[in-house]
Structure 1
C-alpha cells in the first residue's frame, strides 16, 4: 500500500547510487546476493537474541535489495536478475520470521507457523498474478520498474520491512503482532484473487 507513495521519494537517490556503483563495476546480481547474505546474518542474530544487531543487518540487507534494481537500470537488466531478486526476497521473508520461532519455539511457534502460511498464500497469489499479467502483456511501473508485474495490496514490501523492524524493537510482542500481520496477509491474498477473477476471467 505504501510502496507506490515511497517510490517517487527514494528512487532518485537509489538511482544516483546505482549509477555510481555500476560505474565501479558492481553488478546487480552481486548486490542481490549481498542483500540475501545480510538477511541471513540478520536472521542468525535474531536466533541468538541479538535484536539490535539484527535490526542493523536487516536495514543493510534491504538497502542492498533496493540498490540492485537501481544498478540494473543503470547497466543492463536481465530476466535472470529479476528471477534471482524475487527468489532471494522470498527466501529472506521466510527466514526472518522463522528466526523468531527458532529463538523461542514455545512462545513463537504457533504464531510463526500461521504467519509463514500467510506468506505462502500471499506469495502464491502475487506470483500467479504476475504470470498471467505477463501472458496478457500487462505492465505497471507504479511501484518502480520491475522484472515482474507487481500488484498492489494492503501489505507490500514497505509494510513487511516495517513489520520486521517492529519485531526487532519489540521481540516479546512477536505472537500478537505476527497474528495481526498474518491476518492482513491473508486479506491481501484474497483481494488479489478477487482482482484476478475480475481481470482474467474473460
Structure 2
C-alpha cells in the first residue's frame, strides 16, 4: 500500500547511487546476493538472541535490494536479475520469522507458523498474478520499472520492512505482531484473488 509513495522518495537517490556503482563495475546480481547475505545475517543475529543487532544488516540488506534495481536500470536489466531478486526477497522474508521461532520456540512457534503460512499464501497470489499479467500484456509503473508485474495490496515491501523493524525492537511482542501481520497478509492475498477474478475473467470473456 505504501510502496508507490515510498518509491517517489527513494528512487531519485537510489538511481543516482546506482549510476555511480554501475560506473565502478558493480553488477546488479552481485548486489542482490550481497543483500541476501546481509538479510540472512540479520536472521542469524535474531536466532542467536541479538534482535537489536539484527537491525543494521537488515536495513543494509533492504538498501541493497533497492540498489540492485537501480544498477540494473543504469546498465541493462535482465530477466534473470529480476528472478534472482524476487527469489532472494522471498528467502529473506521467510528467514526472519523462522529466526524468531528459533529464538523462542515455546512462545513463537505457533505464531511463526501462522505468519509463514500467510507469507506462502500471499507470495503465491503475488507470483500467480504476475504470471497472468505478463501473459496478457498488462504492465504497471506504480512500483517502478520491474522485470515482472508487481500487484499492489494492503501489505507490500515497505510495510513488511517496518514490521521486521518492529519485531527487532519489540521481540517479546512477536506472537501478537505476527498474528496481526499474518491476518493482514491473508486479507491482502484474498483481495488480490478477487481483483484477479475481475480482471482476468473479464479478459477471458468472448
Query: Aligning the two structures, in what range does the TM-score lie when normalised by the shorter sequence?
Result: over 0.9
Alpha-carbon RMSD across the aligned residues, in angstroms, is 0.5
The 5-angstrom pairing of residues 1-202 of structure 1 reads 1-201=1-201, 202=204
Unmatched tracts of structure 1, length 5 or more: none
CA distance in 1, matches of 2:119, 2:149: 18
Deviations 1:32-88 (A, max 9, x none): 000000011000000011122101110000000010000000011000000000000
CA distance in 1, matches of 2:141, 2:31: 22
Q: TM-score, normalised by structure 1?
A: 0.99
Deviations 1:1-46 (A, max 9, x none): 0001111111000000000000000000000000000011000000
Moved over 4 A (4+): none
Unmatched tracts of structure 2, length 5 or more: none
SS of equivalent to 1:154: coil
CA distance in 2, matches of 1:47, 1:125: 29
SS of equivalent to 1:52: coil
CA distance in 2, matches of 1:103, 1:12: 38
